[in-house]
Structure formats: structure tokens, C-alpha cells
Structure 1
Amino acid sequence: MVLAPAGLMLFLGAWGIRRQDAIWRDEAVTYDMAHRSLSDLGLTLLHVDVVHGLYYALMHVWFVVYDATLGGTLGAVIGLRLPSVVAMTAAAAGIALLGERLVGRRAGLFAGLAFTLIPVVQQYAQEGRSYATICAAVVWATYLLVLAAARPRRQLWWGYTALMLFACLLHEFAALALPAHGAAVILARLPRRVLRAWSLSAVTVLAGLAPLAVFSTRQSAQISWLMWPDPLQLLTFAVLAVLGFGCARVPISSRGPIGMRAIGIPLLLLPTLLLLLLSHVEPAYVDRYVLYYVAGFALVAGAALARLLRPAGELGQTRGRLLRRVLALSLALAALLPVDVHLRSPDSRVDDATAVAQAVREVSEPGDGLLFMPSRRRIWMATRPHDFRGLDDLALFRSPVASHTLYGTELSGDEIRDRMLASRRIVVAGDPSGQPVDDNDQEIAKRATLRGEFVVCGSREVRGARITVYARAGGAGGGCRDGADAVRQPPAARR
């Protein structure tokens, strides 16, 4: 019951984990922060990304061990993602145990398998971010809640409180699982002593989270890029919500004081709906912030599948009806295969820092100037700084580590312009066409100087980025090679 879902999740997590060594920008941030000293990390968190501080500290400890043992053999990419694979494997095991505790062994088996096959679960099982770990912590906290509801014991409540606090300190939006747990306790009509114990645990978690939550409000500008929720993410939630409601209509007999519907439906719906409501005040919705909602779907889906796929002859089940249901399930799984394959390609993420670094290395010459547009794209060099060696970062004032920031600090617009005019050639690593542009003094100076004083030698697009080589207009000797394009796009790019 447990080994099958856990083994499948481990296999799916390992399948294509390298993703052709592509690393997207958020993973590059994790890699950079985890490789800073703990003192530098602490000083950085005072200015930015404090909500991920505990995760960065844990990854720092992990990389100290990993780099000294397996890093030379397996590589940095696997080290970055392996903790998430292990966390999702633990989450799948927890889902199976929850299903068994709430309904029965077959429900636990199907719930664990359903969880592993959800595409968004596989996506975050292969990302060097905290969301898989948060999901695992919430799942196991839910399991302890179910145990404590059946046999209230102080140790179970302590464990529940500790796991929920750990999840919330990894990311404060894990606290949105608390209302789902509270709804389960109320819907199950548990004794007042259980409600009081859960309330005390919830208050303790919120009290422990409060300092982080208050301090993080100073850094709320970090999510200023968020607008209305991504339609694709909302569609994923809507599909799972509708399917979850359909599964909940299948007659299910629960074994404990908390029923499957009482815990599954609130966990599926409440965290996302509450985050959407919060987004009306200040945009904050991204599906990964409440990734654990998929656990609610897996639980009700597993219970429904356990009943619908009963052995032929059991409770009047006919062999023909069973075969039709198995065929329908097989077709649904086959439809997911292209999605699973896509998730393991570099094109599945918004950009590819590895491809950017390689493209810059291919088109640049020693002594060329380098610009990142906007400056936050400097994170592209975090995992492969050797590909940028010999280039002069024209806008950089203080490096990310020295300035205790994610992307470093830049010179004033006038100083950037002067340094650009002293360069014969400049390689620009920037966003692809059609993206909104920043309107600060530095970015305006970069765009105006390139437009007025330089000509384009050539350009190439990689995943989520455009690499362009500029040369001084009318400069002595010219900056473009052979007086022509300095960058020739490969056939695939031209197509």
C-alpha cells in the first residue's frame, strides 16, 4: 500500500531529473543562496526573500554534505532537485497512509497512486524549491491530525504542531492549511476537547509564524510582479475541484471519526479559495504557494477509485462494468503521458539559465561589455559564472554577495551610459520581445544608449531570453565580425 505509491513517485521524480541540465531562474536563486555562507545568507535575508530563509539554510547544509560526497559524480542539478524528489516521495507515502486510515487499504493505495500521477506533483518534485517539502509536511501533519482525532494524545498534537510550524516557516502560505484542518474538525463533529486541542495547536503555529509574517511585509515588493492569476493555473485547480466533487459523490464508508470528505474537500478547496480572496486585496496567487491542495484531491479520488474498481463480482460488480472503468482510467493515464514528457524538457519552465549562459559564451569575446536587461536577469549567471568570465558587467556596482541582494546593485544611469560608450561591443542578456520593461533610471539609460549609439550585430533567442550583440555605430574598426552579423542563429532558431 505504501511502497507502491512511494516507489512510483521516486521513479517519476528520478525520470528526466536533469532536464538537459536546464535550470530556471527560481532554481538559480536557490543554488546561489544555498552556496553563500550562513552569515552572508542571514544578511541577505534581512533585505530580500526572508520567506524562503529556512529552506535556503537547509539547502546550504545539504549542499555542504552533497558537494563533499556526491556532487562530483552526480552534478549540481541533481543535488538541487534531489531533496524535492525525496520530499514528494514522503508525501506520496503519507497520502497512502491517510487513505488507509480514513477508508481502507485499497483506498490508500489508489490515493497514493493518484497523487503521484498528478502532473503538478511531478513538476514540483523536480524543482529546487521548497514547495515539495511544504507539501510533504502538510500531508504528514494531516495524518497526525487524523490520528489525534481518533486517539487524542499529547505527543500527536505536539507532532502536528511542530510539522505545521515547520511548513509555515518554509513558506507562510502553508498556514492556509489550518482553516482546512479546522473545517475537518468541525464537520466531523468531534468532541470539544479535540476542538480545543486543535485550536491550541493552531494558535501556537500562528504565534510561531507571526514574527516571520510581520517581517516579510517589509519585502512585499518582491511579489509586485503578480497580477491576476494565471488562467492555466486556475484551470488546473478548477479541473481538480470538479473531479474532486465528482469523486466525493461516490458512496464512501469512512473508518474513523474524521470522514474522507470532511478532510479531503476542505483541503482541496479552502487554501486556494482563501489565497484567491487575499489576491483581491493584494495579488498573491500562484498555485505552488498552496500546492498541498492536490493532497485533498488525491484522497477523495483514491477512495472513489477503490470503490469503482472493486474486483468483479464484489457487491454486484459485473466484469463488463469493471473492464469499462479500467479502460476509461487507462485512457486518462495515456492522455497524461505527453504532459509528463513535456515537464521533463527545458521548455517546461519560463526560462533556462544554462542555455542563456552557454549562448553568451558562444557569442562573446574577451573584453566585451555585458548587460543584463533588466538587472534581475543577472541571476542567469549564478549557476555558471565561468561562462561569463572575461566579460565586463558594465552596470554592476556591487555583486550580489557583496551587496547582500539577489541580483547585485547597479551604478546610476549616467555612469552606466559612460561605461557603455567606452565599450566597442556589448553582449546583452535580456527578456524576449513583448515583455514589459522596467522604467528605472538604469534600464532607461541602457535602452537609450543602445538605441542611439550602437547597432545590432546579431541576436539569438533561447528559452525565455534573447541574447543580442551590439557594436558602436561608426566605431573605429567596427564591432561586428567581418562587418556582418556577429551572431548567426542556428537553423532551429531561424525556424
Structure 2
Amino acid sequence: MRISPESSRGGLVWAPPAAAALGFGLWGVTGPSFWRDEAATAEVARRTVPRILDLLGHIDAVHGFYYLVVHLFGTLFGDGELALRFPSVLAGAVTAAGTAAIGRRLGGDATGIVAGLLTAASPLLIRYAQEARPYAMETAAAVVATLLLLRALELDRRRDWAGYGAAIVLLGLFNVFGLLLLGAHLITALPRWRPWALTAGPALLPLLPLVALAAGQRDEQVYWLARPTLTEVGYLVKIMSGAGWLIAPVLILAVLGAALPDLRRTALGWLLVPPAVLILVSLVHPLYTSRYVLFCAPALFLLAAGGLTRLPRPVPLLGTAVLIAAALPVHVTQHRQDDRADDLRALAGILRRHEHRGDGLLFAITSQRMIMGAYPGPFARLDDLAVAVPGERSGTLAGIMEPPGALAARLAGVDRVWLVSRQVNPNAPGQDVDTARVAALQQDFGRVKGWKFKGGYVSLYRRR
């Protein structure tokens, strides 16, 4: 494999993409509210380390290392949107810089800086770089692992192979699905597969307990996933390209880039192997969703950069600028609250304005309880009527609920109750509603007012 030699100009290639990614990541990062998955992150980040470890024995082991990282950031900088999303912003900058460094090694300075800038401006990658979830960090780890693999193949030093092994461990800790990248790395390492195998194999050993624990929690983690369809494959192509109108130019450029042997050997398998494996497995046991293969997006930009830099000057510079500009409307849309699944800040605001201290609180759907973690202040002033043991003390996200018969006695002690549901009618079909809990409330209480927020509905009930 031909790899560009090291030089002092490397910083001129990776620094601009890193700065651009940092700028894109910080642009409006606190604008949209936390959504329900981020609410889980925020709630777990407030727990002590022993209680986080207790949680991982029951659920979310696959995100355990990430939770420990954001717990550290939360302890140092607070639990607001900026503090908990900032690790992902930093990961986005690492992803752009690392992609530029890979492109430079495989295709030269121009390929490197174009690949880094396309990565830095990717709407998909920036979307997850502004979210308090682990996927941006997983992507950064995949890029770093690939860069270290190329370095190890070039220099063949023990310390370089050790660094690559450590990156594999880090990748698996952020998300076990990231280990699908190893299939692509085998293609990159051919024909020198022996040192690769002697590094990757031992690196997997410390991850085996995590893989086994995550597999045992599969029914609770991914029960909502269905078998993937061709529509979802098309959607993956669309979001990786940046927008529907960018699919054709990006794919054409990627095909041009794939004609370069070094880029093809590294980037094509990275782009195709993990999604293909996960989709094929999901036809039997559904595990696929697009964010689980987010870490493959930099490979597309490496190929597209290779295609651009094959064209005569000044096409690469102008083409990069046009692709970035064409994606700006998607960036603007992503910064709107309506683009997110939930507006939990609005729910907290409704409660803050209208609640009375000591009002009761109920959730029509038990799993919806974790949204309290996003903005806990207003919920702390309410009497959580259905919970027997809160999530933090029970090693769960939602907590352990009281038996149905105990709720009537607890309702007797309040005159007003807030009910959070997905729809105006908490008993509407298609919801996994705790009907006994809602029936107990409606027996003696009537709804006096309701408010819709993005992602749900909150009603105020008063004793008749």
C-alpha cells in the first residue's frame, strides 16, 4: 500500500477541518431541547459511578463507557445542554481531523483537506455531534482506529500495532456495533493479515464480557426495531450524502475516487461492509438502525474527496465549496426544534408555570418516565405517585412501580395530578398504556386543562 510520507505540513491539512467541525458543532448546539434519549443520558450522568455500574447490569451496558465519560463532564461542567453535548462536539472535530489525516496518507494533501472539510460539514455527522449520545464518539474512535491501522501497516512497529489494538478496544467500548469495522480493516490489511489478526484478536478479548452482557439485554434495548427494508437502505444513502439533491454528485464522485487503489482498499470496505453485515443479520434478528452505522460516513467522504481531486484545478476547491453550500439548508433545518423528536424543555416550562408544590405526577406509559431526566427541576416539586423505588436506587431507567392497588391510596392524598401521555387521549390505541393507572386516576379526577408539546401531551386533573 502506498502511503504519503510524514511531513511538517500535516497540521495544515487536518487543522482546518477540525476547526470547521468545531464551529459547525457549536453552532446552535444549545438551541433544540434535549430529546428522550438525551434525557436518559442526562439522568444517568447525575448518578454516582457505583449506581451507573449498577444500572449497566440491568440495561444500557452497550452505552456504559459513554455514560462514564459524560458523568465526568457533568461533574466538572454541569448537566446542561452545552456540557453534556460538548463531548460529542469534540468527537466531531476529531472525526474531521482524522479523516483528513487518512485522506492525506492515501491520496495526498488535497485529498486529505477535501475529505476533512466534507466530513466537517456533513449534516449527518454534525447532527450527532450536537447530541448527548455516544454515536459521534464511536465515529471518532472508528476514524482513529483506521488511521492507526494505516500507520501500523506502514511502519510495522510494535508500539503502532499496540496503539491500533487500544483503538479497537475504545471503539467497542463506545458501541459494540462499531466492531463491525474489523471486517473492513481485514480488507485494508491484506495481504499482511497476520499482524492484523494478532492485534485484533487479543483486543477483542477484554470486550467479550461487554458483548455478552449487551446481547443478554437485547430484548430490552432493541425490541422496537423491525427488519430493514429497501426504503431504509435508500434513507441511509440519502442522509450520508447530506440531502436528496446531493446523492447523485456525491455517489458519482465516490465512484471516481474508488478508482484509486489505496482509497478503494481502505474506504470502500469501510463504507459497505458494516452496513451490509448489520442489514443481513437484521433480516433474521432486527438490529439495524441508521445511527448504528454512522461511523461509516467518513469513508464516503474519503471516496468523494478522491473523486474531486482527480479532476483538474480549480474544480476540487469549487466542488467542495458547492457541496458544503448545498448542504446548508439541511443544517438550518436541523437547528429547529421541530426537527427533534421531543421538546422536553417545553414540557418543563409548562409544569414550571402551572404546577403547585405537592401536586401529583403520573405517566400513562412507564417507559416515558425517563424524560424527567432532561430538566428535572419542575418534576422534583411533584409527588411521583406511581413509583415505589426511583430509577437511581433501583438500577433501572424508569424505576420500579407500585402495585396497582397502592395507587388509589396515594391518590387520596392529593387534589391535583399531572398526567403525561403521548396523545391527548391517554387511552388511544397504539400506545403501551398502563390502563389500570389511568383508570384509577380518572375514577375520582377529571381533566381541567391540557397542553401539547412536541413528543407528547400533559394534562392537569383535579379531584371531582
TM-score (norm 1): 0.83
Match of 2:45 among 27, 30, 34: 34
- String of CA shifts for 1:259-296, please: whole Å, max 9, x gaps: 10111111111111111122122221122222111011
Residue of structure 1 equivalent to 2:5: none
Which residue in the other structure is 2:29 paired with? Answer: 17
Change (3 A) 1:334 1:91: closer
Rounded Cα–Cα distance in structure 1 between residues aligned with 2:31 and 2:229: 24
The residue number in structure 1 matching 2:124 is: 120
Matched, 1:89 2:89: no
- Tell me if 1:143 matches 2:142: no
Please tell me whether the aligned partners of residues 368 and 426 of structure 1 are also in contact (alpha carbons under 8 angstroms): yes
Bigger CA drift: 238-247 or 127-136?
238-247
Deviation track 1:85-124 (CA, whole Å, cap 9, x = no partner) reads 1111011111001001001100001100111122110101
* Equivalent-residue separation in structure 2 for 1:88 and 1:333 (angstroms): 16
Equivalent-residue separation in structure 2 for 1:61 and 1:449 (angstroms): 42
Q: Relative to 1, partners in 2 of residues 1:463 and 1:411: Cα closer, same or farther, differing over 3 Å?
A: same
Distance 1:333 1:169 in 2: 32
Q: State the 1:150 CA deviation.
A: 2.4
Find the partner of 2:298 among 295, 306, 314. Answer: 295
How far apart are 1:144 and its partner, in Å? 1.3
Q: Of the candidates 320, 332, 351, which is equivalent to residue 341 of structure 1?
A: 332
1:436 aligns with 2:444: no
Distance 2:36 2:383 in 1: 22
User: 1:165 is paired with a residue of what secondary structure?
Assistant: helix
2:158 to 154, 163, 166: 154
1:163 aligns with 2:167: yes
Q: What are the superposed Cα offsets for residues 207-258 of structure 1, whole Å, 9 maximum, x if unpaired?
A: 221111112222122221222449886334224487565334326775xxx7
Q: Quick one: which of 456, 460, 485 aligns to 2:447?
A: 456
Alpha carbon RMSD of aligned pairs, Å? 2.4
Cα deviations across residues 40-81 of structure 1 (Å, max 9, x unaligned)?
Answer: 1111211111111111112222323324xxxxxxx7211101
Aligned to 1:479: none
2:255, 2:303 within 8 Å by CA — same for their partners in 1? no
Amino acid of the structure 1 residue aligned with 2:327:
L
Q: Does 1:247 align with 2:250?
A: no
SS in 1 for 2:460: strand
Q: Residue 277 of structure 1: which of 252, 276, 280 is its match? A: 280
1:307 pairs, out of 301, 305, 310, with 310
Q: Which entry has the higher C-alpha Rg, 1 or 2?
A: 1
Query: Which stretch of structure 1 is more off in the superposition, 278-287 or 137-146?
Result: 278-287
1:370 is aligned to 2:357: no
Give the conservation status (yes or no) of the 8 Å contact 2:118–2:324. no
> Is residue 449 of structure 2 the alignment partner of residue 446 of structure 1?
no
Q: 1:438 to 1:418 in 2, by over 3 A?
A: farther
In structure 2, what is the Cα distance between the partners aligned to 1:391 and 1:351?
21
Contact kept in structure 1, 2:445 and 2:461, CA below 8 Å = yes
Cα shift at 1:386: 2.1
Structure 1 unaligned blocks of 5 or more: 68-74, 313-321, 476-495
- Against the structure 1 CA distance between its residues 253 and 226, is the aligned structure 2 distance closer, same or farther, given a 3 Å change threshold? closer
CA distance in 1, matches of 2:444, 2:120: 55
Q: Which has the higher contact order (CA 8 A, sep 6+)?
A: 2
1:397 aligned residue: 388
Query: CA offsets per residue over residues 377-422 of structure 1, 9 Å max, x none?
Result: 2222224322124321111111111112111111112222443465
* 1:63 aligned partner: 74
Question: Structure 1 residues 60, 422: CA separation in 2 closer, same or farther (over 3 Å shift)?
Answer: closer
Q: Do the aligned partners of residues 435 and 200 (structure 1) sit closer, same or farther apart at CA in structure 2, a change above 3 Å counting?
A: farther
CA contact (8 A) 2:144 2:167 kept: yes
Give the equivalent residue in structure 2 for 1:468.
459
Match of 2:55 among 33, 44, 69: 44
Is the 1:413–1:444 Cα contact (8 Å) retained in structure 2?
no
1:109 and 2:113 equivalent?
A: yes
SS state at 1:250 partner:
helix
Residue 17 of structure 1: how far off its partner (Å) = 0.9
Distance 2:128 2:418 in 1: 33
Aligned with residue 6 of structure 1, among 12, 18, 21: 18
Conserved 8 A contact 1:271-1:293: yes
Aligned 8 A contact 2:118 2:320 in 1: no
Q: Equivalent residues in 2 for 1:343-358 (5 A)?
A: 343-358=334-349
Contact 2:344 2:371 in 1 (8 A): yes
Measure how far apart 1:182 and its partner are: 1.1
Quick one: distance in 2 between partners of 1:113 and 1:98?
13
2:257 and 2:306 in contact (8 A); partners too: no
1:493 aligned residue: none
Is contact 1:414-1:445 (8 Å) kept?
no
Cα distance change, pair 408–374 in 1 and its aligned pair in 2 (3 A): same
My pick for the range that moved more, 127-136 or 377-386, is 377-386
What does 1:229-248 align with in structure 2 at a 5 Å threshold?
229=228, 234-239=233-238, 240=240, 245-248=251-254
Letter in 2 for 1:203: G
Runs of 4+, deviation exceeding 4 Å: 229-233, 240-245, 251-254, 325-332, 450-453
User: How far 1:437 sits from its partner (Å)?
Assistant: 1.7
Q: Distance in 1 between matches of 2:94 and 2:298?
A: 12
Which residues in structure 2 correspond to 1:415-434 (within 5 Å)?
415-420=406-411, 423-432=414-423
CA drift at 1:185: 2.6
Contact 1:417 1:445 in 2 (8 A): no
- Structure 1 residues 459 and 19: CA distance shift in structure 2, 3 A: same
Find the aligned partners of 1:326 and 1:109 in 2 and give their Cα distance: 10
CA contact (8 A) 2:360 2:416 kept: yes
For the residue of structure 2 that corresponds to 1:458, the secondary structure is: strand
The aligned residue for residue 378 of structure 2 is 387
